[in-house]
Each structure stands twice: as C-alpha cells, then as structure tokens.
Amino acid sequence: PNCAMFCPPDPCDGKKTLDCATPKCTTKCEKPKCMLDCPPAALGCQTVCPTPQCQWHCSKPTTCPKPKCSMRCEMAPTCAGGNALSVPPPPLAPGEEVVTRRSARRGENHWEAGDWSRCATQCGAGSRTRAVECSAGREGYCTGPKPASTQPCEDYAGCRYEVGAWGACSARCGPGTRERSVQCSGARCLGDRPEDREACTGHAETCTECRVTMWGGKGFDGWEHVFEAGEYSSTELEYRGLKCDDISSMEVVGDYCHVKVFEYGDFNTIHPGWNATFPMGKYTAGDLESRGAKNNDISAFKIWRDTPAHERKHKETRREFDGGDSHAGENSNPWRDPFRSSAAAAGTLAAVSSWVLLW
C-alpha cells in the first residue's frame, strides 16, 4: 500500500530554541488492494492476503512492502481412467464370489435433433435454430453427416400497414376525393390493405357566400361598397352614391358567385353596349379592361350564385323525403331565383320614370 506522513507547519522555522517544540507527525497508509483471478467458475476460489506490516523509525517512514496474496482453489474432479469408456469392476473382497455374470454391449450412436425455434424475425426473411447433439455425448462418437442446426425461414405475422393522415379534399366545395399514404412495413403484409382514397365533401367558407365589393379611386384604396346577390341599375347605384365612371377595382367572393357588368344603366336592354362576366376573384382596373369592361365605366351589374349539382341533388332528396312537395321550403331558399327580388324593383323604377338614365 501507499503510505504518507502528514506534519503540521513547523513553528520554529527550522531553528531549535528552548521554547520551540518539534511538531508531531502522523503517518497514514492505504488499505491493500487484492485482485481475484479465478479459473473456471465451476471451481471455488478465495484470495487470502496477510495484513501489511509497516515500521517507522524516528520521524521518517520507511518503504512499506506490498502484501503477498496467494490463491487457494478447489481441485477439479478427476475421471477414472481419463477418457476410458468403461471402468473394470473392483476386485472381490474375501468371502465374495460371482453369482451371475452379464455381458454389456455398446449401442449404436446417433444424432439427436431438437425442435426448431421460432423465426428470428416476424416480418420478412430470417433464420431459425435447433439443438443437434450426439447420443454418446461427444460429436466425435457419431458417424455420418450432422443435421443442420440453422435454416432460413420467413414470417410475415408481424408486418403491419403504416397509414398516414388524410390529405385535403380535392374539391373546395361539394364532392371530391382525398388520399393518404398506405405502406407495408415489410415485404408482405397479411390481411386486407386499408383504403388510400375515399370520397369527401369540400366545405370552404366561400362555398355558400356570394357578394361583390367595388372600390373607387385608385386601386383598392378608395371608396368601398359591398353588394349581395341581385340586380343593380344605374338608378340604384346613384341612390347608393356610386359614380359609375369611378369604379377602379372589384372583388367577387363565392365559389359559385358571378357578377355581370353592363355599359349602360338599363342592362343594355335599349342601348346595346359591352358586358362582361367575372367569377370569384380580385380584379384591378387593368383586369376589368382586359375582360371587356371598357373605359372604366360600369353603369349596372347583376350578381347571382349558381346552384351546384350536389346542392340540387340534395334538394331533390329532401323533396322525396318530405313527400314530393316541390314547393316545400321554396320561400326560405335565398338562392332559388337571384333576380326575383330585383324584378319588383325594376318594375317600380319603370313606373316612376319612362326614361332611362344613360351613363
């Protein structure tokens, strides 16, 4: 073990005087460290180490010797005759005699194979094993080829389908389809494959909306007016304070919403002029001009919403369910006739004035 001496500071600073005492020093040693090194685990072993002895002379320690450790192990059992297959019987004791004598014969040695284990993998190709031993205890005593202890195998019971999340519906509004990823985790999956496509119905916020916003001035920064479905002549626009020659931009909101603009305030019924139709979208003055709304001069327009096929089919189904009443709920449907509410207004305006204000 390692030993060291510990001394406090010398108050005499190396000078011997009558009133100065030499400090007492102490010595400390580590405990001996013994390592265990055993033969095969079948034999019991123990390590024996003597207690280290240290001697000190005066104030300076001497070198401590390392402890000598010895290993004591049990003796391995011995077999009679070494590798002999038989041991002769012991000699007869005085007064004994052989009554019956039997002869022994060694049997035929053979290979003994155990059951196959499960396949190492449960999803794909792998291997499986089994124990193969000679009946005599040692492989050298068996003749002939040794049976295989490993062989290839396949097992797909653990393969699973990995299914992703459904994607967005292909249609913004109404019937469509959506898809997802479906993949097998291995070479082959058992059972039915999950569907990777299914029908869906789009429900965008603008599916049932229909409104048009018009701006005057420069771009989308001037005055602003919002219009619902209906017909708006020059007289109606004038009543609302719009200047037909000042409409500079427009936005149509609604997947099935349309607006048709006219050059003249009477919807071009008396005076033929240009007209242009716009679906959902935002349009600048240049866009309006390119689609036929010329000279930045919109004097009247009509706004309506088309009824998509899936809504018509739904209405027909409801009518059949309600007993075939074709007029059931007709008055509560604001999209049934987009121009119906404006017809009365057009007739009233015609009665008030026989002339049409042309812009």
For 314-344, how does the pLDDT look when each residue is reduced to its tens digit (9 = 90+)? 787 777 777 655 444 444 444 444 443 443 4
pLDDT digits (tens, 9 = 90+) for 44-63: 445 555 555 555 545 555 56
pLDDT at 350: 38
DSSP 8-38: ---TTTT---TT--PPP-EEEEPPP------
Amino acid letter, residue 230: G
pLDDT of residue 41: 42
Indicate the Cα dihedral angle 93, 98, 103, 104, nearest 10°: -40
pTM (predicted TM-score): 0.47
Residue-level pLDDT at 135: 87
Return the closest-CA partner of residue 174 out of 339, 300, 311: 311
DSSP string, 41-87: TTS-EEEE-PPP---EETTEEPPPPPPP-EEEEPPPP--TTTT-S--
For Cα atoms 76, 78, 82, give the angle at the middle one, nearest 5 degrees.
135
Per-residue pLDDT, 320: 74
**Rounded Cα–Cα distance for residues 353 and 275 (Å):** 24
Q: What gap in Å lies between CA 200 and CA 166, rounded to an integer? A: 10
| CA 357-271-265 angle, 5° bins | 35
Q: For tokens 């916003």, what's the residue?
A: 213
pLDDT of residue 14: 60
pLDDT of residue 115: 95
The number of beta carbons lying within 10 Å of the beta carbon of residue 255 is 21
Distance CA 275, CA 292 (A): 7
Q: What are the angstrom distances between the C-alpha of 279 and each of 37, 215, 231, 304?
A: 91, 17, 16, 10
Burial class (CB in 10 A: 0-12, 13-18, 19+), 32: middle
Are the C-beta atoms of 169 and 175 separated by less than 8 Å? no
* Ranges in the chain, pLDDT < 50: 35-45, 57, 72-85, 326-359
